[in-house]
Amino acid sequence: MNNNNPIGLFDSGIGGTSIWSEIHQLLPDESTIYLADSKNAPYGQKSKEEIIALSIKNTEYLLNQNCKLIVVACNTATTNAIKELRTKYEIPFIGIEPAIKPAVNNTKTQVIGILATKGTLNSELFNKTVELYQENTKIIEQVGFGLVQLIENGSIHSPEMTQLLTSYLTPMIEANVDYLVLGCSHYPYLIPQIKEILPPHVKIIDSGQAVARQTQHVLKEKVGFNISSEKFTHFITNTDPKVLSEILNHKYHIQQKDF
Ligand code: DGL
* Topology adopted by domain 100-205: Rossmann fold (3.40.50)
Residue range 189-213: average pLDDT? 97
Alpha carbon of 71 to ligand 1 centroid (Å):
14
pLDDT for 118-132, tens place per residue?
999 999 999 999 999
Q: How high is the pLDDT of residue 243?
A: 96
- pLDDT of 147-179, one tens digit each? 999 999 999 999 999 999 999 999 999 999 999
- Domain 7-96+208-256 belongs in CATH node 3.40.50.1860: yes
Query: Is residue 76 within 8 Å of residue 44, measured between CB atoms?
Result: yes
Q: How far, CA to CA in Å, does 162 sit from each of 21, 167, 173, 178, 194?
A: 25, 9, 15, 20, 8
Cβ of 188 below 6 Å from ligand 1: no
CATH 3.40.50.1860 positions along the chain are: 7-96+208-256, 100-205
Active site residue 184: yes
Global pTM reads 0.96
67 is known as an active-site residue: no
Locate the DSSP E strands across the chain.
7-11, 32-36, 69-72, 93-94, 111-116, 138-143, 179-183, 203-205, 233-237, 254-256
Catalytic member of 67, 69, 74, 194: 74
pLDDT digits (tens, 9 = 90+) for 36-95: 999 999 999 999 999 999 999 999 999 999 999 999 999 999 999 999 999 999 999 999
pLDDT of residue 1: 85
